[in-house]
């Protein structure tokens, strides 16, 4: 009986380890593995790496006043299994990259132009906010999975580049997820969670 129990515990730990490992990018088993479209992380194509050139500046005429250009495995198939990706973020004056999180990666941000007010919030129960004002050449790190943001506090446009520890880190914009889900979250749930009037919640949901 003791041996059976030990085997079951060992099997459970192995299963847990496997399930935990699957949450991250796979470790490469070769020098590189250029992804075949729609078969990322699996079959490899040894054709040349693809080159992606982001435009010099992206359109920031939207409610947030920012534009994020993703440069991940969807644009460069050669990033498959390498566990890295890049984004370019353009900010209009007083534009914001709103509070969001990356479910599959940490982020390191380099400011190229402008002045940004950036920050992230620790997990419950502390919910401690860490912020800094960044100028060109400054670098800031956003830890894995934590809610973070960037805000252009200058009167001119700003540009930043960010490296991510995943070939496709994903992004969850908090406001979009809460107020713009499809189908919508029951307004009673959101009203109670955010301590808002139900009509305010319905209005915000209509905006998204």
SS3 letters for the chain? CHHHHHHHHHHHHHHHHHHHHCCCCCCCCCCCCCECCCCCCCCECCCCCCCCCCCCCCCCCCCCCEEEEEECCCCCHHHCCCCCEEEEEEECCCCEEEEEECCCCCEEEEEEECCEEEEEECCCCCCCEEEEEECCCCEEEECCCCEEEEEECCCCCEEEEEEECCCCCCCEEHHHHHHCCCCCCCHHHHHHHHCCCHHHHHHHHHHC
Q: Is 58 annotated as a binding residue?
A: no
Q: Is 135 annotated as a binding residue?
A: no
Q: Is 100 annotated as a binding residue?
A: yes
Q: Is 80 annotated as a binding residue?
A: no
Known binding positions: 97, 100, 102, 107, 148
Q: Which residues are annotated as a binding site for oxalate?
A: 97, 102, 107
Binding residues for Mn(2+): 100, 102, 107, 148
């Amino acid at each position: 009986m003791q041996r059976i129990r030990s085997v079951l515990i060992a099997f459970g730990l192995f299963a847990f380890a496997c399930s935990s490992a699957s949450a991250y990018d796979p470790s490469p088993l070769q020098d590189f593995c250029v992804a075949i479209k729609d078969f990322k992380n699996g079959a490899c194509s040894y054709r040349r790496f693809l080159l992606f050139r982001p435009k010099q500046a992206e359109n920031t005429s939207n409610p947030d006043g920012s534009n994020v250009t993703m440069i991940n495995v969807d644009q460069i198939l050669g990033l498959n299994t390498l566990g890295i990706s890049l984004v370019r973020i353009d900010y209009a004056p007083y534009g914001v990259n709103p509070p969001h999180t990356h479910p599959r990666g940490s982020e390191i941000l380099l400011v190229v132009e402008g002045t940004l007010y950036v920050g992230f919030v620790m997990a419950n129960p502390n919910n401690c906010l860490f912020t800094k004002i960044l100028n060109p050449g400054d670098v800031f790190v956003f830890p894995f999975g934590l809610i973070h943001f960037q805000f252009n506090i200058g009167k001119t446009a700003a540009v930043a580049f960010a490296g991510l520890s995943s070939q496709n880190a994903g992004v969850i914009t908090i406001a979009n997820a809460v107020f713009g889900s499809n189908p919508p979250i029951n307004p009673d749930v959101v009203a109670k969670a955010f301590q808002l009037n139900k009509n305010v919640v319905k209005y915000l949901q209509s905006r998204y």
